[in-house]
Amino acid sequence: MVAAGNDFVLIDRAENNNTRFSKELIQKICDRKTGVGADGLMILQSHSGEELNIEFYNSDGSYGALCGNGSRCVIKYIRDKRSLNKGKVYFVFNGKQYHGFIDDSGTPVFNLQKPLKIDLNKVIEFDGIHVTGDFIDLNVPHFVININENSGLFSSNTNIDNVDVLRIGRKIRFAKEFAPVGVNVNFIDPGDENISVRTYERGVEYETLSCGTGSVASAISAFLHRDIKPPVNILTKSGEKLVVNFKYENNIFTNITLKGNAKIVFHGKFILN
């Protein structure tokens, strides 16, 4: 399945009861040269009424606490599987309950919980210079960097397409300030109509074509600094747009949603031996 360029292998446990998904097997499936190829793997672990338990793994086999784009894929899959055109889809991700729905246009909408932590204007050290960004934890930690506000890191005419996401993102992802769990790194360029975002994702250890929770963190950062009102349009590396909406009252974010297309690209079988 693909959501704004973020791709996943989705496996329904009901159809694979005897398969043990070890770290090595997950890495093998997600390998783009010798396997299926994906940014992550999701297992629909159990069925209990209308609620599902989702196991999510990054392409390196590490366990993921939450995936925004992956959640929209789950909503799409359940809608198609159960012909659920209306009503909410409930599921559990890493022990926490989430839900989403399909809107009138047929687009999956994912409802997120409020941020666990927001640390604005956090300063970290990078190659002897100081980089300022916003640390926003949405059950997935993100460090959001505005490329127009870090002159020591970027030149005045830096375009987001020219940002060295791999080099800078990898170093910040492993920076001591975020040890031991690390952080996802989002580079943003807020415009009049869209916020352009590029992301280095931990667990994938590479730039992905989009990041769902990273898009939400970027929208929150732009709102707090530039008062960009929701709904916020996010332009991803893939060229597709995501829409982030929320309410903000008494310094608290509520009703956070992530909207964007998700689609099933193909069905298939993976040979284990």
Closest among 171, 1, 20, 161 to 79, alpha carbons compared: 1
Cα–Cα distance measured from residue 210 to residue 39, given in angstroms and rounded to the nearest whole number: 10
Alpha helices (H) along the chain: 23-30, 68-82, 165-173, 212-226
- The boundaries of every CATH 3.10.310.10 domain in the chain are 2-112, 117-259
- Position 168 scores a pLDDT of 96
For the domain covering 2-112, report its CATH number. Answer: 3.10.310.10
Contact criterion met (CB below 8 Å) for 245 and 223: no
pLDDT tens digit sequence for 22-48: 999 999 999 999 999 999 999 988 655
Enumerate the active-site residues. 67, 211
**Separation of CA 41 from chain center:** 13
Distance of CA 31 to CAs 66, 92, 249, 269, Å? 21, 26, 44, 15
Cα–Cα distance measured from residue 199 to residue 189, given in angstroms and rounded to the nearest whole number: 12
Q: How many CB atoms lie within 10 A of CB 223?
A: 19
This prediction has a pTM of 0.94
Distance of CA 65 to CAs 95, 98, 141, 153, Å? 9, 12, 10, 30
Question: Which of 37-51, 174-188, 194-208, 251-265 has the lowest average pLDDT?
Answer: 37-51
- Position 16 scores a pLDDT of 86
% of the chain surpassing 70 pLDDT: 96
Closest among 260, 174, 173, 176 to 211, alpha carbons compared: 260
pLDDT tens digit sequence for 147-162: 999 878 888 788 999 9
Cα–Cα distance measured from residue 44 to residue 74, given in angstroms and rounded to the nearest whole number: 9
Cα–Cα distance measured from residue 213 to residue 103, given in angstroms and rounded to the nearest whole number: 20
Q: What is the DSSP letter of 45?
A: E
Per-residue pLDDT averaged across 130-134, rounded?
Answer: 96
How many residues does this entry show for the chain? 273
pLDDT tens digit sequence for 207-261: 999 999 999 999 999 999 998 999 999 999 999 999 999 999 999 999 999 999 9
Closest among 259, 90, 237 to 165, alpha carbons compared: 237
Looking at domain 117-259, its CATH class is alpha beta
Cα–Cα distance measured from residue 49 to residue 69, given in angstroms and rounded to the nearest whole number: 24
Of the CA atoms within 13 Å of residue 143, those in its CB half-sphere come to 27
Q: How many CB atoms lie within 10 A of CB 243?
A: 17
- 272 vs 232: which has the higher pLDDT: 232
- 71 vs 45: which has the higher pLDDT: 71
